[in-house]
Amino acid sequence: MLVDLKLSKTYDGLLYLADSTRNLKEIQSHHHNELELNLVVQGTVTYVVDGRRFTFLPRTLLWLFPRQDHQLVSRSANAQFYVAVFKPSLIRRACRTELYGDLRESLQKHDGVLNTLLNVESFGMIRSILDSLMQDSLDAELLNLEAGFGPVSEFRFEHRDPDTLNAGLHYLLLLCWRYQLTGKPVRDAVTLHPVVRRALTLLSAEESESSLEVLAKACGASKSYLSRMFQRQMGIPMSRYRNSLKLAKFVEEYKQSDQKTLAEAVYAAGFGSYAQFYKVFKQAYGRGPREAMASRPREL
């Protein structure tokens, strides 16, 4: 799925700090025309890219290249990670010498997730730059709530000092690439079994939740085998993954322009009751939905 980040001509990219307790990011495989750079600050984040699962620890710098499908499938409860996005036009302007030739060429298709584990000093320097650039950005709650940039979202990224942000993104891009060239990559990818890959595709596409028996049959496996293999390879039970998809759908339903109430969005997302939804939401984000959605004033 191609995602339009809706960046105006004023900005060469965007930047925000994703937080598991606030970031209601849509969990769907997607891609965009921009280069995405993540820096894991704390906790762990897990992506599926090119049929492989990658789990990243703190101080990991990772690159998701233009038009490269990626899916954030899991985060630890305490996860925080910076997300920086760079327009192709910025990459072409910034990468003029041989040292950055491979980065310039990265505008073409790239396999896997290029990454490196930063040493403490390098991590501290990059985090300091990121923190300083965030000082004139939008409210953290709003950025986390709107971070999905879904197709129905009218959200537009803004920054109070675009020139400083653009200059900072330029420097950040080149500095991170230099660290990538000298760093040590993390190589703990798990190649997903075809049954798990098929399940991920079906789960992302289904309009209403089918039974485990129906899903297993569509994947060509028994219920027990599918459940066991999914948890072993994805690191989370299928029920938790399904709840994450429903939570993401709830956010999209609630953000749509037809002014659904919170309860209407809950049932439209596939939850059987408000009590079930509330329990799942509280477990995922550590607070209730009314508090979490407070930065989007709506009739509840």
At residue 176, the pLDDT reads 97
At residue 188, the pLDDT reads 75
Q: What tokens appear for 167 in the block?
A: 């200059």
Question: pLDDT digits over 55-90, tens only?
Answer: 999 999 999 999 898 988 888 889 999 999 999 999
Q: How far apart are CA 117 and CA 273, in angstroms?
A: 43
Question: What is the C-alpha radius of gyration for the chain, rounded to an integer number of angstroms?
Answer: 19
Cα 273 to Cα 194, 264, 292: the distances in Å are: 33, 11, 19
Cα of 195 vs its chain's centroid, Å: 23
Domains belonging to the chain, first-starting first, are 13-182 (2.60.120.280), 193-292 (1.10.10.60)
Low-confidence spans in the chain with pLDDT less than 50: 151, 297-300
At residue 4, the pLDDT reads 85
At residue 27, the pLDDT reads 65
pTM metric for this prediction: 0.85
